[in-house]
């Protein structure tokens, strides 16, 4: 790859070609929203979230910043800011990953396999560990009220 800006353009085009609805925030290619559907076979199935993505100048050598714009009830997502606690994105990012990986692998894995032992939302983590059924009902209740339209 010749430069980070070319890689950014390529990854963004690849994401758009993968049937994701992408909305640019400004004229540059560094900030945008992506519509993300909850993964099948999870309490988040049927949900639709707007994800804010910010690509740093050093992308792909530095990880993108990812956050949920509309509310999601999850142990590893801060309920107020929408920040995502995702090790692969935050600590183990590699230039081998791209934006499609974020939306087809990393975020679905986060929703399918929450980690209540490393929470950003302590209440969700505690409920998940104490009563998984009640946690899933709460997720489904939040999901219905927080769809992107």
Look up 69 and say whether it is catalytic: no
Q: What angle do CA 28, 147, 108 make, to 5 degrees?
A: 70
Instruction: Retrieve residue 100's tokens.
Output: 């499609």
Secondary element (H or E) of residue 89: helix 87-90
Phi, psi (5° rounding) for residue 127?
-65, -40
Q: What is the spatial distance between Cα 90 and Cα 123, in angstroms, rounded to a whole number?
A: 22
Which residue is catalytic, options 10, 16, 48, 85?
85
Cα gap 99→107, rounded to integer Å: 11
Nearest-angstrom CA–CA distance, 106 and 131: 25
Q: Catalytic residue positions? A: 85
């Amino acid at each position: 790859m010749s430069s980070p800006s070319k890689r950014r353009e390529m990854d963004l085009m690849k994401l758009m070609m993968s049937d994701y609805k992408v909305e640019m925030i400004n004229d540059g290619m560094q900030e945008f929203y992506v519509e993300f559907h909850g993964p099948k076979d999870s309490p988040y199935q049927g949900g639709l979230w707007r994800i804010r993505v910010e690509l740093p100048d050093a992308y792909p050598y530095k990880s993108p910043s990812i956050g949920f714009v509309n509310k999601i009830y999850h142990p590893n997502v801060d309920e107020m800011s929408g920040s995502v606690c995702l090790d692969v994105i935050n600590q183990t990012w590699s230039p081998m990953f791209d934006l499609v990986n974020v939306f087809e692998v990393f975020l679905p894995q986060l929703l399918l396999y929450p980690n209540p032992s490393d929470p950003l939302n302590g209440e969700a983590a505690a409920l998940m560990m104490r009563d998984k059924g009640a946690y899933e009902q709460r997720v489904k209740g939040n999901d219905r009220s927080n769809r992107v339209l």
